[in-house]
Structure 1
Amino acid sequence: MENLRVLELYSGIGGMHCALKESRAPAEVVAAVDVNTTANDVYRHNFPNTPLWAKTIEGLTLDDFNKLEFDMILMSPPCQPFTRIGLQGDVSDPRAKSFLYILDLLPRLSKRPRFLLLENVKGFETSSARDALVKTLKDCGYSYQEFLLSPTCLGIPNSRLRYFLIARAMPGSFSFQATAEQILEGFPKSAKGDYADPAPVPIHCPPSAGSSIEGGEDPGVPGGGGGGEVEEREYLLPPKTLLRYALLLDIVRPTCRRSVCFTKGYGHYVEGTGSVLQSRTDTKVEKAFASLDSLSEEQKLSQLSTLGLRYFTPREIANLMGFPADFSFPEKTSIKQRYRVLGNSLNVRVVAKLIELMVA
């Protein structure tokens, strides 16, 4: 296969770009498009040679798209119109406007891309936006397959259930038996038999990680440096948080084979934003939580502190999300900003597998 020209829309911090590289597809990103200033800074830091257009998608004309002559679109449109905890405005939400603009342009391109991959939240599969996407693909002569996948299906100890769609221009078919009317909840086996169920991986050894959760290198974190140990004190839960939210925490140990989805509010909000790590494993959680109601605040704090509960560092979250060891953040990017852009990103290894399936 010749080198594919790839257009990366809603490029964020470059999760799709990392996945494209990991897939080893013969491809290069010819342009990335995003308006988020912080995400763009991270993208430029990691992909300085890729043209990055800091503008709205609606600000690009049909002629702008045609000049790129791209063979593949990778995109992760705004998820807010489709999230279960949001207003679920769907196509009426102003944040869906750019996606509808893409669907309007696709049939009018002078050279339609051969491949398309889209990622979004669970909920997109029942939306009017999804229906419009599928109709456009059918009208343009694409075959497609939809998925609902979490990194756990690859043995990665982190839940992040997301909707995916891959499409390829016909004639031609996928290397697996497509079931367009069914949303798959696992990876199908390709003709090569590449997708056998993997063995689960404990949390202390994240896949594609450049460091371990347990005090390894943490090049993306102030205090962690490029070769020192993680400064755990920076990430310990504050006393007020421990006292107020202890019973709401999702606590995992380094040997756990699970963690909950990390969101953009991690480190700022506690409930439902991600797991926290028990760094002192010589104490059992049950013992630390025993008889808390009968203790004074000082006694509660002393007892809970024996667990050494801390937030995962941004680098550790990046590891769990499949970002490569050489992925890093500009020094000026604050910890809060790092959590936020990671929470808005995707699992690199899941997307890499989908790209492999799409182009095989």
Structure 2
Amino acid sequence: MRKKYKIIDLFAGVGGIRLGFQNAFQSNAEFVFSSEIDKFSKITYECNYGEVPNGDITQIEASEIPSFDILLAGFPCQPFSNAGLKKGFDDTRGTLFFDIVRIVKFHKPKVLFLENVKGFRNHDKGNTFKVVQETLEELGYKVYADVLNAKYFGVPQNRERIYIIAFLDNEINFEFPSALNQEVKLGDILENKVNDKYTISDKLWAGHQRRKLEHKKKGNGFGYSIFTEESAYTSTISARYYKDGSEILIKQEDKNPRKLSPREAGRLQGFPDSFKIPVSDTQAYRQFGNSVAVPVIEALAKNILKEID
């Protein structure tokens, strides 16, 4: 009988990191606690996992959280104040990383899995990352960090994220997963028939083209991006995709380009079609844009399981 690992899911969103760990650990994972502040994300989480996440983590005592082995957190990138004054842990006060640390201090889990934007590594001249690393090392963890791109893990999206993985057992030599040699293209995740409401209006399309031209005159490459079924990958989907969809538009014959449907946005992040979307399109785009590329998480989780099992 293999060991069951108790896991907590912080800043859970719609549970993308959880899904990757569930896929990798199968019956070896037991989720004992989750937390998320956004009410619409909580609706999607409950609909898919049968539990309502707890609310604001800053209001929850570490002692109220059941004991656990693995902490998951896709936490926001915030600067640490007084940076450079070498206060270590106290530098983190007032940030959400502080809440991760106080929970880790109390529970001393075996593994920490943290995800953040690629720019986190150089944020505040590299200081933000340094404080995180040194704080975790002070707590006795061996820290690994690397940037992985989703396009090498079976989804047609150019999405780079930093993964910080820390082990209480200092004997562990963790290796980041290498790229899966899986050829994918955008057509693999597109639906056969998509409602016309996702085709952008003449007015919006004219605006996109006008702004693109203005950017071009200034000599920068900003503006909309158009992709076809044959495209190897799209640009990064973000939480603001619901606004105008300009970062990922799909070419259509004899029509204006269209946005991805919410289901396609989910697929672009590696969510299966069985993942339920109980919210409005606007919220669905925000939720998937804020989430993670599930197959990257799964590959990382498999390597973690190898080390601790």
CA gap 1:96/1:157 in 2 versus in 1, 3 angstroms: farther
Letter in 2 for 1:201: V
Query: Residue 241 of structure 1 corresponds to which residue in structure 2?
Result: 204
Tell me how far 1:92 sits from its aligned partner.
3.9
Query: Residue 41 of structure 1 corresponds to which residue in structure 2?
Result: 43
Q: Does 1:60 align with 2:60?
A: yes
Bigger shift: residues 94-103 or 255-264: 94-103
Tell me how far 1:78 sits from its aligned partner.
1.8
Q: How many residues align?
A: 280
CA gap 1:270/1:312 in 2 versus in 1, 3 angstroms: closer
5+ long unaligned stretches in structure 2: 83-91, 213-222
Tell me how far 1:22 sits from its aligned partner.
1.6
Identity of aligned residues (%): 25
Structure 2: distance between partners of 1:131 and 1:95:
15
Larger-gyration structure (1/2)? 1
- TM-score under structure 2 normalisation? 0.84
Query: Residue 132 of structure 1 corresponds to which residue in structure 2?
Result: 131
Instruction: Report Cα offsets for 1:98-135 as digits up to 9, x if no partner.
Output: 2213223423x2x4111110001122113434222211
Indicate conservation of the 8 Å contact 1:103/1:133, yes or no.
no
SS in 1 for 2:71: strand
Letter in 1 for 2:238: T
Query: Residue 184 of structure 1 corresponds to which residue in structure 2?
Result: none
Indicate conservation of the 8 Å contact 1:33/1:56, yes or no.
yes
Query: Residue 170 of structure 1 corresponds to which residue in structure 2?
Result: 169
5+ long unaligned stretches in structure 1: 82-89, 177-186, 189-194, 207-212, 216-228, 281-305
CA gap 1:62/1:21 in 2 versus in 1, 3 angstroms: closer
Tell me how far 1:96 sits from its aligned partner.
6.0
Letter in 2 for 1:342: F
C-alpha RMSD of matched pairs (Å)? 2.2
Structure 2: distance between partners of 1:338 and 1:358:
30
Tell me how far 1:307 sits from its aligned partner.
4.5
Tell me how far 1:174 sits from its aligned partner.
3.2
Instruction: Report Cα offsets for 1:230-261 as digits up to 9, x if no partner.
Output: 32x11001110111213432111112112011
Tell me how far 1:353 sits from its aligned partner.
0.9
Answer 1 or 2: which has greater helix percent: 2
Query: Residue 153 of structure 2 corresponds to which residue in structure 1?
Result: 154
CA gap 1:59/1:160 in 2 versus in 1, 3 angstroms: same
Letter in 1 for 2:273: A
SS in 1 for 2:165: strand
Structure 1: distance between partners of 2:159 and 2:291:
11
- TM-score under structure 1 normalisation? 0.72
Instruction: Report Cα offsets for 1:136-164 as digits up to 9, x if no partner.
Output: 22122222210111111224211111111
SS in 1 for 2:142: strand
